[in-house]
């Protein structure tokens, strides 16, 4: 596992897009991260998503873009909803998602005064289902959705209260 001190983050830029679109390894992974996208993920699709979302952020590990996420909903003083969370295949299992979720929680508090973060995860995304409860997210609900083939899937919704940052 990469030590979090070797990870950094910054706002995503247009030059990051060709790298980020390679993160989903198949249509299922793309569906988990970006359900409205068509396989394979293109720079155009990701740019369109970033244009309608907020705080698109990348994690950098050893000089390489290792993760990406943004907010697809934001309500000032209330909540932010995490979206498009993707980790590069070479960086998986190294704490990138943990680090990125913590960064996005901080951005939600700082930029939107959010008191709650919402995340959603499809039932077949075992990595996500295991990650979010470990980070303190609690089950909010389960709603029915359809996958690209029209099959019924469960979208598992989690939430977490964001505590105010305390001055050190």
The CATH number of whichever domain residue 13 belongs to comes to 3.40.630.30
Would residue 120 count as lying in a domain? yes
For residues 86 and 46, the answer to whether their CB atoms sit within 8 Å is no
Name the least confident of 84-93, 122-131, 157-166.
157-166
User: How sure is the predictor about 164, in pLDDT bands with cuts at 50, 70 and 90?
Assistant: confident
Give the predicted TM-score (pTM) of the model.
0.94
Distance of CA 118 to the CA centre of its chain: 11
Q: Is residue 166 part of a domain?
A: no
* Domain presence at residue 45: yes
Domain count, the chain: 1
Give 16-66 pLDDT, tens digit per residue. 999 999 999 999 999 999 999 999 999 999 999 999 999 999 999 999 999
**Tokens standing for 50?**
């970033």
Facing residues of 7 across strands? Answer: 61
Residue 9 domain-assigned (yes or no)? yes
Cis omega (within 30 of 0) on the bond before 40?
Answer: yes
User: 48: domain range?
Assistant: 4-161
28 has which bridge partners?
none
Asked whether residue 81 is assigned to any structural domain, the reply reads yes
């Amino acid at each position: 596992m990469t030590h979090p001190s070797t990870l950094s983050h910054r706002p995503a830029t247009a030059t990051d897009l060709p790298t980020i679109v390679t993160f989903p390894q198949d249509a299922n992974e793309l569906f988990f991260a970006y359900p409205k996208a068509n396989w394979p993920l293109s720079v155009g699709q990701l740019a369109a998503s970033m244009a309608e979302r907020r705080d698109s952020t990348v994690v950098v590990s050893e000089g390489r873009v290792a993760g990406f996420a943004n907010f697809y909903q934001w309500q000032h003083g209330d909540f932010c909803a995490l979206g498009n969370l993707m980790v590069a295949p070479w960086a998986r299992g190294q704490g990138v998602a943990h680090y990125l979720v913590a960064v996005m929680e901080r951005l939600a508090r700082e930029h939107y005064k959010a008191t709650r973060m919402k995340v959603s995860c499809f039932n077949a995304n075992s990595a996500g289902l295991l990650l979010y409860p470990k980070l303190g997210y609690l089950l909010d609900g389960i709603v029915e959705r359809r996958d690209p083939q029209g099959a019924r899937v469960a979208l598992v919704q989690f939430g977490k209260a964001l505590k105010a940052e305390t001055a050190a």
